[in-house]
Amino acid sequence: MLFRRSRSASVQAPAQDRWHPLAELCRELGQAVALQDTAERVIQGCAGGWPVDGCWSAEGAPVVTELLRISSRIGDITVLEQDSELKEDACYLVLWHQAALDRALRLAYTADADAASEQERTSLTGLGEPAAQLRRLHDETLALLRAAKPAPAPGAAGVVTSSSAPRAAAVSRPV
């Protein structure tokens, strides 16, 4: 028989149990944020005059695919219960970005668009507030990651302390 701990129990997990999933989540969010500029450019290009240049499809389709891959990888990350809402928000926002870009591409390259579809296409402006939300979520995850980073054991092999680190070479600056 399995016994479950109450959800209200406040048991703090060791840092290393939280750090690795947060690191994976942060990496995936960083990749999604890095795709935002391209997605914005493609959405705005799709809203341009008719006919829409084919370059937007060539540039946007791989981004749609990569956003789907990112959301899938986020879904595969096993996080602690305390981070489950963070993971859900990440998945939602990445899928929102994917859907917005996919919709823009579909509207731009529909052969028999009706007046409502054409009006929707030309009113596209970009990713909007969800883009800012994704960036904030990435920043929040990064802050949690930094707070959860396990401290190296004193005297651990391969750990360089500030007192034993070699001095960096001087940076040459133009005069």
**Secondary structure (3-state) at 26:** helix
Note whether 13 and 34 are within 8 A (CB).
no
- What confidence tens digit (pLDDT) does each residue in 133-147 have? 999 999 999 999 999
DSSP code, position 9: -
- Domain boundaries defined on the chain: 15-145
Note whether 56 and 45 are within 8 A (CB).
yes
pTM: 0.74
- What confidence tens digit (pLDDT) does each residue in 62-85 have? 999 999 999 999 999 999 999 999
